[in-house]
Amino acid sequence: MSSGDDPSGSASRRVGDWPEQAIAEGMVTFTPYAKALGMKYVSSSPNHGEIFLPWREDLVGQGGSDIFAPGVLTALIDHVCGLAIMATFGFEARPATLDLRIDHMRPAAPRGSITAAAHCYKSTRNIAFLRAEAWDVSRDDLVATAQAAFILNRKEQA
């Protein structure tokens, strides 16, 4: 067998050709603040993203309550919206949050870890519109819901 060609094609890949999903996963794994809060990538596909945040004592809002501070959910929800966009458009989208609204339906369960999922239901060349949800035990009983708009910096389609 000749050794000239790499059957996987990986040798000829440049950074810009990475699958969107790998970029999206890296955006959770390598972003310093996401890492500092302990966010874990769950899944992503075009227009969708999901992140898990394990409960941690130093992220509690009021000592003794054992419940995440609301500001921790804000970061989780903002990040999962960014994930849904990156999973669709890749690194070049460079999404930046324009606005974000979060409703806190109820306190999370004490020592409860949180999962957040985002859906990008419409995007134009410049703007993406998303909805997101967060829950502790079951997606049928939400802790928070959110609505967001992001500005995109998409390259012109060739």
Partner 1 sequence: MSVDLAAVLAASPFARFLAIETQVDDRGVLAILPIRDELIGNVMLPAMHGGCVAAFLEIACQLQVAHETGTIAPARTIDISVEYLRPARREITYARARIRRLGRRVATIHAEAWQSDEAKPVCLLQSHLRLPDGVATSD
* Binding footprint of partner 1 on the chain (CB under 8 A): 30-36, 57-63, 68-72, 74-79, 96-104, 107
Find, among 29, 8, 24, 157, the residue nearest to 90 by Cα.
Answer: 24
Q: Which amino acid is at 95?
A: P
Rounded to a whole number of angstroms, the minimum distance from the CB of residue 65 to partner 1 is: 8
Closer to partner 1 at the Cβ: 12 or 153?
A: 153
Q: What does the radius of gyration of the chain's CA atoms come to, in whole angstroms? A: 18
Rounded to a whole number of angstroms, the minimum distance from the CB of residue 4 to partner 1 is: 36
Closer to partner 1 at the Cβ: 45 or 153?
A: 153
Closer to partner 1 at the Cβ: 98 or 137?
A: 98
Q: Is 96 helix (H, G, I), strand (E, B) or coil?
A: strand
Rounded to a whole number of angstroms, the minimum distance from the CB of residue 32 to partner 1 is: 4
Rounded to a whole number of angstroms, the minimum distance from the CB of residue 42 to partner 1 is: 17
**Do residues 52 and 115 make contact, with C-beta atoms less than 8 angstroms apart?**
yes
| Distance from C-alpha of 57 to C-alpha of 72, rounded to nearest angstrom | 12
**Do residues 83 and 21 make contact, with C-beta atoms less than 8 angstroms apart?**
no
Closer to partner 1 at the Cβ: 6 or 103?
A: 103
